[in-house]
Structures are given as C-alpha cells and as structure tokens.
Amino acid sequence: MTVLDYPDVIVLWQNCEGIGLSAADTLPAISAYLARNPGYSFVARDQALLVGAVLCGHDGRRGYLHHLAVAPAYRRQGIGQALVEHCMSHLKAVGIDKCHIFVYSANQAGQAFWKQTGWVLRPNLVLMSRELS
C-alpha cells in the first residue's frame, strides 16, 4: 500500500462493515503511518479495482494489524488471508514474534474470520484508550 492507494482504500473502508474510522485515518495520518512502517501494509486489486486492504506496522516488539477489509463480492476467496499472511511474513522477517489486532466486540463476522485463521481471543486483556487532544 502506498499513499497513492489512499483514495481507493478509504472508499473500501467506508463501505465495509466492522471498520471504525477516525481522524487517524485521514490522508495525512495514513501517510505518516505508511512512512513509519514502510512495506508492511498491502492492497489487493482485481485489474485496477481495489478489492482488499490492510494496514500493518510494528513498534519493534509487537506487530499490529488494522482495518483488514475485503470488498463483499470478493470475500471467501482467500484474499483477506493472503493479505494477513503477507503482513505476518514481513513482521517475522524483522524478528517480530507476536501480532495483535483490534476487533469490535459486536463484529461477529470479523471475530469468526480471525478465529478461523488461527487468532485467539485474549480474555485476560482489556483495551483502554485515552484521547491526547
């Protein structure tokens, strides 16, 4: 994924259930994320049509996936899994041995996808956030 993919990626994210967008998903914010994590985020295209995308990065210790999305007409073809595997192989290549994802508790389809592909719920953890502005 590059900043040139952004117009197509944001449309995909806006049209996929289970994706929560915020100010962190504006073009400047995504540009900064991609610059900080070059070569870790990916898109899938059918010819020129963007059909999948995932943000991936790491902090030097743990990897993180955000906003995995596949256009509804292209689901159940292995595209989401392939995007995730690209991310995982790039993280492993730099010594990252664990990756985290964030899934809305009401997103049952998303949770089913992640569980089916080997991810496990961590009931011993609670996500907490704080706005800095």
Q: pLDDT tens string for the chain (133 positions)? A: 999 999 999 999 999 999 999 999 999 999 999 999 999 999 999 999 999 999 999 999 999 999 999 999 999 999 999 999 999 999 999 999 999 999 999 999 999 999 998 999 999 998 888 888 8
From the list 120, 69, 63, the residue with the least C-alpha distance to 90 is: 63
Angstrom distance (rounded) from CA 57 to CA 69? 16
